[in-house]
């Protein structure tokens, strides 16, 4: 008998559509770099098949999986436990399976926070958050848990902004208020961190979020969740005004790092992941 091991550790993702999700390339490059015999299988799982997919992952002894649209809320009913942030956010995008038990996490906001901490400690800071979708919700909750002083949530649909502000106030020690987004949003004086958490700029390097650029202040951190192209027009304009730009690649990469830590207890090389995404997106810093 050979004592070689032909059985790989299994991880992956359940979403639909899934063909344009580059996470598989990023994570498998980092597995190879670390010499870990693990696979990340990008699965197209339709809404009606989620329960079967989760049962399949358990049956095949996967160690965990990501879930993206449209499963982030629906998956919760199949889980045994939720981590704190996932419970507050009400959405799960990363499930760890240990001894048949499924634990739901949300790495969207944690990935952003890890990226943000490379340039600023958010504790005690004032944040101006554009958008109130799933990404904004996860980011706001994590910023609250990280102890920011105040978050102003701005959205075209003000009711969604109000829901997120209330979520932060009710579940964290941070204060938060909501504002409707009318015309060019003006960043309040004293803001430390400005975040575009809308989908504006995705796949279009020339589109700009409607922000009054003259209200940006030198030294502010200006972050964008858009991973492709990473250097959005908003970030380029902010950099020209002396702000510190933070692109959405770091958020995506750190989500991968955090997910694999939850599944395997191993920390993958973020640099390998980032370079893989840059190659895929054909990204430069321009």
Element (H, E) at 104: strand 101-105
Q: Residue 204 CB, nearest distance to ligand NDP (Å)?
A: 11
Q: Which of residues 10-69 bind ligand NDP (CB under 6 A)?
A: none
Say if CB 131 and CB 179 are below 8 A apart: no
- 72 catalytically annotated: yes
Block residue for tokens 């191993």: 266
β-strand partners of 97: 102
Among residues 155, 172, 174, 220, the one that binds ligand NDP under rule CB under 6 A: 155
Question: For residues 37 and 204, which CB has a smaller minimum distance to ligand NDP in the complex?
Answer: 204
DSSP class of residue 187 equals P
Q: Residue 140 CB, nearest distance to ligand NDP (Å)?
A: 11
Tokens matching residue 234: 């908003």
Q: Residue 12 CB, nearest distance to ligand NDP (Å)?
A: 17
Tell whether the torsion through CA atoms of 110, 145, 157 and 233 is positive or negative. negative
Residue 90 near ligand NDP by CB under 6 A: no
Residue 262 CA: distances (Å) to CA of 57, 142, 145, 258: 16, 17, 19, 6
Choose one: 3-11, 22-30, 244-252, 262-270; the region binding ligand NDP (CB under 6 A).
244-252
Q: Which of residues 156-215 bind ligand NDP (CB under 6 A)?
A: 156-157, 160, 198-200, 202
Q: Which of residues 218-237 bind ligand NDP (CB under 6 A)?
A: 225-227
Catalytic choice (72, 125, 126, 274): 72
By DSSP bridging, strand 101-105 and strand 94-98 are antiparallel
Number of residues that bind ligand NDP (CB under 6 A): 23
Q: Report the distance separating Cα 172 and Cα 88, nearest Å.
A: 10
Residue 27, φ and ψ in degrees, nearest 5: -75, -40
Q: Residue 151 CB, nearest distance to ligand NDP (Å)?
A: 14
The residues of the shown chain that bind ligand NDP, judged by CB under 6 A, are 108, 111, 131-136, 155-157, 160, 198-200, 202, 225-227, 248, 251-252, 255
Give the active site residues.
Answer: 72
């Amino acid at each position: 008998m050979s004592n070689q091991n032909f059985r790989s550790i299994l991880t992956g993702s359940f979403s639909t559509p899934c063909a344009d999700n580059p996470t598989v390339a990023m994570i498998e490059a980092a597995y190879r770099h670390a010499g870990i015999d693990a696979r990340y299988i990008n699965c197209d799982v339709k809404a009606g098949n989620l329960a079967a997919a989760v049962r399949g992952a358990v049956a095949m002894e996967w160690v965990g999986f990501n879930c993206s649209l449209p499963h982030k809320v629906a998956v919760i009913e199949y889980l045994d436990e939720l981590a704190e942030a996932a419970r507050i956010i009400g959405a799960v995008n990363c499930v760890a399976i240990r001894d048949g038990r499924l634990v739901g996490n949300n790495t969207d906001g944690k990935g952003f926070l890890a990226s943000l901490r490379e340039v600023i400690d958010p504790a005690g800071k004032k944040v101006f958050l554009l958008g109130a979708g799933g990404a904004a919700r996860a980011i706001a909750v994590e910023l609250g848990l990280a102890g920011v002083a105040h978050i102003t949530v701005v959205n075209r649909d003000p009711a969604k902004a109000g829901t997120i502000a209330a979520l932060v106030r009710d579940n964290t020690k941070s204060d938060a208020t909501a504002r409707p987004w009318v015309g060019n949003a003006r960043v309040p004086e004293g803001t430390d961190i400005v975040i575009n958490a809308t989908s504006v700029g995705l796949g279009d390097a020339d589109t700009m979020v409607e922000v009054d650029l003259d209200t940006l202040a030198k030294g502010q951190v200006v972050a964008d969740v858009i991973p492709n192209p990473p250097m959005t027009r908003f970030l380029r304009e902010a950099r020209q005004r002396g702000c510190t730009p933070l692109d959405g690649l770091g958020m995506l990469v750190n989500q991968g790092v955090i997910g694999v830590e939850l599944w395997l207890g191993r920390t993958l090389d973020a640099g390998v992941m980032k370079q893989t995404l840059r190659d895929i997106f054909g990204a430069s810093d321009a």
